Amino acid sequence: MAIDLAMYDKTKFGKLREFKDIKIKTFSPEPDDSDYGRGYITRYFIQSVNDVHSPVYEVSQFTYNRINDNPFYIVQPLNWRITGTKEDIKKSNSTSVKLASVNIPNLKLYLLNYLQFSK
């Protein structure tokens, strides 16, 4: 009996195959004047769900939205402060990383410069 691939792709397993085929493209944010006026940017991180030691990737909001429901990745948005005193920025970003590290423990190894993008 031949398997109808079109029928298979409509099943849950076909959806999982679609999830596995997503290409990860890393991203580095470039804050603009409106971001500095707001005082923060939202950064998006992903990591493979089956290995806590796998690399952490920063991705665009578009990629984050595509991967958000993907069972093969842990996704984590993070508010990143970019204005204020150096001490306030460091404290705020340190707290954000600590909270986000509950979902992606190695995030604290990826984000070492708490003053990144600050003015």
Integer Cα distance of 80 and 117 in angstroms: 9
pTM: 0.81
Integer Cα distance of 116 and 77 in angstroms: 16
The pLDDT tens digits for 59-109 are 999 999 999 988 999 999 999 999 999 999 999 999 999 999 999 999 999
Residues in CB range of 103: below 8 A, 6 or more apart:
74, 76
The pLDDT tens digits for 29-70 are 999 999 999 999 999 999 999 988 899 999 999 999 999 988
